Amino acid sequence: MNIRKLDLIEHNYKEEDAISILEEYFDEWSKDEDWWCDNGEVDVNVWNDEEDSEIWHVFVCGLVMMSNGYYETETSNEIDTFQFKIEGEL
């Protein structure tokens, strides 16, 4: 049996943290249907709504540190989720 030890990463997440990532990487996620990014404490996933391309979904989850010292996304560790809509020119 192969057992991995995973430790949750401590974070002080605020919604503004995800918004800051979205602002910084707008050129990347706005051209991709399913985009991921992490800031060392949380992982941010952005995807486009299938029915309305102006609506974007954001899922923020925590990272875990594996026994080998590497970080991994832990999607079951949901921290935040929200939607936003882009209308017209930015």
pLDDT digits (tens, 9 = 90+) for 17-34: 888 999 999 999 988 889
The span from the CA of 78 to the CA of 47, in Å, is 16
Q: Which pLDDT score, from 0 to 100, does residue 59 have?
A: 94
Per-residue pLDDT band for 8 (boundaries 50, 70, 90) equals low
Ramachandran region, residue 86 (left: φ > 0; alpha: ψ -120 to 50; beta: rest): beta
Do residues 78 and 43 make contact, with C-beta atoms less than 8 angstroms apart? no
Q: Which pLDDT score, from 0 to 100, does residue 7 have?
A: 61
Reported pTM? 0.77
**Strand positions, DSSP E, the chain:** 6-8, 34-38, 42-48, 55-66, 71-85
